[in-house]
Amino acid sequence: MRPIRLRGVIAAVPTPVTEAGEPDTERFLRHARWALANGCDGLNVLGTTGEANSFSAAQRRRVMAAAAAALDPARLMVGTGTPDLATTIDLTRLAHEAGFAAALVLPPYYYKGVSDDGLFAWFERLVAATADAPVPLHLYNFPQMTGIQFSADLAGRLKRAFPDRIAGAKDSSGDLAYAARLARIDGFDVFPSSETALGKAAADGYAGCISATVSVTAPLVARYAARPADAALAAKVAAARAAIAAQPLIPAIKYLVARLHGDPAFERVLPPHLPLTAAQKDALTGIGLEAA
């Protein structure tokens, strides 16, 4: 049975790949299980950290199938947004069929300067085409990557038009004032992309966080989520995130996951990303990796 809402600390997990660049589902599941066992309330599969937009639709389906079969899909959000509506519909329908708790949907990001009315029409078609596969939808706001920002007006309009489908948003803009405006929409769950926002979750109404760095700092962040007023924990969380984010983020996460599991194969990335240099790895030597 699908939960009413995903909430709490959610790790945006990476997707390990083989030497041939195919999804390595065995390693993916190994790390996903670690994250769920070490403080994460849920996982975001095939998001930006998961290099979703570097995979074909068929490759994404393989990762989705493996995750749903081996993990509790009620604890999983999956990225289904692509620039074309047909593929987004297909992946979103699969998310429902596989039992995922929610789908995370990017806007159709190739065209820039599009209006709120145009974006509304796109999501209206997505909702209509998946009416018989009603997985909850979360808007994925990442204007640095897409060139498109969901206005608070548009988010509210979508929520009012489709209250049973539009569940909330992941906001990767880094603008907490904007995220707080979204969180004031009735029944709209907002997840900032930084775990440092957990200190303001109660005041600003956030549902939790969806963070790449939590994929390797889950035990620490779980403790902080339980004690958000603890200044010492807050400082440790902020320092770890800043150190990781100072390097190319996806290669850094994959390097730290490789270190965590003692398996260099986790380091592989897909072009245009490149593995970290020795100097970049040295900059991360102070990051403590631990189990809960």
| d(C-alpha 103, C-alpha 135), whole Å | 7
* CB contact at 8 A, 31 and 257: yes
Question: What residues act catalytically?
Answer: 140, 170
Burial class of residue 74 in the structure, from the number of CB atoms within 10 Å of its CB (0-12 exposed, 13-18 middle, 19+ buried): middle
Rounded to 5 degrees, φ, ψ at 39 are 115, -10
Residue carrying the six token digits 């990442």: 142
* CB contact at 8 A, 135 and 95: yes
| d(C-alpha 156, C-alpha 185), whole Å | 6
E strands present in the chain = 8-12, 42-45, 76-79, 102-105, 137-141, 166-171, 189-192, 208-211
Rounded to 5 degrees, φ, ψ at 10 are -120, 125
| d(C-alpha 198, C-alpha 93), whole Å | 32
